[in-house]
Structure 1
Amino acid sequence: RFLCSKMCFLCLLLIQYCAAEIHVRAKKGDTAVLTCSLPALDEGSSAPQHVIEWVRQDYDIPILIQFGVHNPRVHPNYDGRVSLVRGTSLQIRGLLLEDEGWYECRILPLDKTTDEAGSNGSWTLLSITSPPVFTETSRPRVEVFVGRSVTLKCAAQGNPRPTVTWSKDGRPIKPQNKVKIMNGSVSFHAVSRETSGQYQCHASNTEGNVTHVTVLKVIGPPVIVIPPMDTVLNMSQDAKLKCQAEADPPNMTYVWQRQGEDIYHIESLKSRVKVIVDGTLLISRLIPEDSGNYTCMPTNGLPDSPSASATLTVQHPAQVMKMASLTFLPTGMRGVIVCPVRAEPPLSHVDWIKDDKPLDFDLGIYPGWTLTSEGSIIIATANDDAAGVYTCTAYNSFGTMGQSEPTTVILQDPPSFKVSPRKEYRQDIGRMLVIPCQMDGNPAPKVSWKKTGIASRSLFTQAANGSLILHPLSKDHQGEWECSSTNRVATVSVRTTVFVLGTSPHAVSSVSVIPGINQASVSWVAGFDGGYAQKFTVWLVKEEKQEWLSFSDLSTENSLLVTNLLPATEYQFSVVAQNKIGTGPFSEITTITTLDALPVVAKLVPPSNLSINKSSEGILLWWSVPKAQSPPIDSFVVQSRLEGGEWINLKENISPVENQIFLPGLSSSRLLDFPDQLMAGVMAGVGLLCLALILTLAIVCFIFHKRNRRRRQNIKGKETAL
């Protein structure tokens, strides 16, 4: 073993020595010489003619063949770059990375056959080293839209293979959720403005290094960095609402709007506003009308421009807006005299003057007159007392901006019914139904009809005198109709109900379902029967089923008990009515879940004839085992307690076939009781001394529902019989 180790060591040294002799290293672009010498000649002999071949391991034909003084034949990949020096050595100029490989020199004497000459050359390994050179890079400047993905490419070659690293603004880039580096390229998913910067791709090996720089520019719509803030100022002050944004490209313009309208299109505002270069909005000499919501919208021509809003509040004394010169009130009806007020801070009170005399509502000058918190006068029944000339003055904590313009209150009769419709109409389907509605008034009021609730899909017309014409009468015409009339002081209306006879029933409503365990109580409100007796059918479908089932019994009542349902199951219910004409539409679906089934508790027969026998060592209990039960008894347990105390387990997991147990060390000075539920058992064997000891031991059956593997489903449970 020692000799073998020494031989292996010498072989390794020899291999390293030989490898060192045949390994030629050179840099890309330089010149390398692969040596080869003629074989030694015998003394006194002359050199024979020979052919020199240089072959490469992965080439099918030699890269150079030289015979005598003839021009050599050179492989196309080496044309113009190889020649023989010192007779047989191969010189390669302008080295390429592709030149790396194994080369063999072969000298073939012409006076010998190929087999006799053999392979008299040696293999030489040519290694080409090269500093990194980029083969693919991104453009020096790359632009990408915000939110999109981009990849910066960087591929380099060299020998040894170069290592490629990335940095941004001088800091190394590490892979993250949205940044991946693979095969020399760095990819960004959903770029943001923070992705912008100068990226350096650095390729290096032992021969050198090289760096490529790409400036990544993320373009997109502006980003608001300083939004406007809610501002409260006094009237006549100057307002400044800031709005600063950043964008690339940076050619931004700012648009300001108030309540959605361009500020330069608002007559009262356009002469007092200015938007400066940084986006700030200046408003000089504020007036109350300047209050509102202002929106800043910077844009650089790219889509999805942002916006930001703020509220400007201008504080001022209470101000009465433009007062109508005439106010009309309906005679005999409720009327309102409005004082249109604008106030910031809020309104505190309003003073009214009628016919140059102040109105004191605290004194109750006119019955039924009240003053609202908004400053309006409410008149319960307008009469001649309301007629006159009114002015109002509004106040807040800042004071008042003066009295309003006067308004003259004029009484006018509201519209009145000349002919009004009855409360209801009944007519057969297909016939004509005319419902009158004629009004009196000066000027003549307009009359209009509409169907309340669900609009009618059938056509209807209105006569010149205001009557409603339904022709031909259809089922869809049924329902409540309203006739209304309006003039400048009031609107009056009246309603009537149309019943269309000779149709199928209308849909039931208000379906209610009260679930039970195996049943559900369904109730509903019946729709109009179409003029004939109607009956009802309850339809239901179980969860995850698509086939609806009807409850076969037809009922004339408005409720029905549906039975034979499964517990803890979701059901959908719908009710449909039918009469001699046909079947009406289904009601809206009501979904319920039936209740969980109550747990089944087996009534177990307890052991009987419980007896005791006392000794100095303890107590022996024995009993009569009950007959076989279903489910079967799993085990017994013995319990005891001191008089008035809690029950404790003395012995558990007693086999159901056992009928006695010995309890050692039980003290005779303690009084024990039976559990109440075992009083039916036989109590005997009280000791000879009768020291008022009453021992009660309960034998409890722990009952488990055992698995019946062949005929029953898996049921897990545990029952305890005492």
Structure 2
Amino acid sequence: MPYGKRMRAGTNVGCCSLPNPTETVMVAGFTSLSPVSGGVLEIGPVDARNRGLYTCEASNIEGSVNHSTTLLVIGPPIIVHPPQNTTINVTQDAVFECEAEAYPVNVTYTWSKHGINVHQLSQLCHRVSVHSNGSLRLTAATPLDSGWYTCTASNGVGKSPGATAYLSVLRPAEVCQETSEALPGGGGAGTEDWLFSVGGGSVNYRVLEDRTLVLRMVSREHHGLWECIASTDVAMVTSNTLLQVTGTSPHPPTELTVSAGSFGVNVSWCPGFDGGHQQHFSVWFRQAAPQPHDWVYRKVPLGASWLWVEGLWPETCYQFSVLAQSEHGSSLFSEIVTAWTLNIPMATSPPRPPVMEGLHLLPPRSPTANWTQHGILLRWKPPLPPSLTPTTYLLESWTESGWRLMQSTIPATQEKLLLSSLVKDTLYHVRLRSRRGPWVSVPSQVVNVSTGGMVILPPRDGTRVSLDSPVSAGVIAGSCFLATAVTVNALVSCLSNRRKARRRQDPPTVQIVF
């Protein structure tokens, strides 16, 4: 083993061949110094405990020589600092450590409570964070947070190990009723009862004489937090347990929130219990004003709990709801949340984009304009990194009242646009912006477009935009009126000629009276 060596766990490794059989060889590993016979050290089967620095030393009466090498063992992680049972008071923060070592070193950590990922529990998802060293931090603990927490470390090799610890959240005793009498033995007759504090509807359960809770024919409605309350005249203590019913359809998402932009809305939520199976989501929405429309939906990427819904109208009221689905069926719809998209006034440029820390959205590059027989062709180049990739481009034109938004849905894959229906001998000023979701870039360079001396022909394709829609509308209306007048005049003339021809062809009729 003269150089650094990587071995997969479970295999054998040998090292150090002797140049002289009479020499003595010692191999120093990271834990011990071991004599070697025959000049070969064999380790097998190899596991993670055998990794480290090994030194091969050969010596005789003339002296000694040594060589070192490192043994790396490819295998699953080993949790070297597992989490410990922790007890804290209510409202305090809890921290569980979970540090693992492995090769390869790309270790990822997952925390779960009672087998459910902490980020999928609605009562925890906003108060937990997993750090790069594997530790879990839970803020503002409540009695409902008590339970078993498991850390799982994985690097994609072999079976991922896990370590579990229990969190106890203490809560001080509460005085339910003051009394002026001293109770014998420090208390009076006590009561004990069970309370189903999470869930909906009525559920069937039975409490035995020893206060044991019995649930029969367990169904989806029994899922939730069950709390046992024991009280006397002076104090009350509680203990709770979370009952999770698997093999059912998912529970509806909760805490639905929306953040609106001008052309879209960001929808986020906390996933409900998945019923023990992987669930996926879809966001349903509809336009609510000025009159309700039909519901449409967008699928959410697997594992995500948010979605940017784009393609909406500015300054419009929309309603949103989220549906969870799995192989066991669909959940109920979440609550319906109403939101208004922001407005972009037509007489002004788009609103100032929000600040994007560490990110940039740049406008299109090198806009140019060239004459063609069908109009003026506007060309540009997409922005380069570090800019974000835009989804659409915006086209603005200068008018007497300021910059006016003329086109807001130019695809980001398009790099040219035909400006048609232009007025002859007119100077236009146009510019472009990039847009990605709610973000709008600064404007590009202004391009001056002159139609002086141009002969404008009607365009042949649909890749065009009109900069003077009022003028175009007037021209079209005048043409239609003229065509109608000519047609009516022709019809009247035709009918008049036919009547004159009939009078000339009919013979005169003479009536004789005797």
Q: Give the TM-score, by structure 2 length.
A: 0.34
Structure possessing the higher relative contact order (Cα contacts under 8 Å, 6 or more residues apart): 2
| Structure index of larger Rg | 1
TM-score (norm 1): 0.25
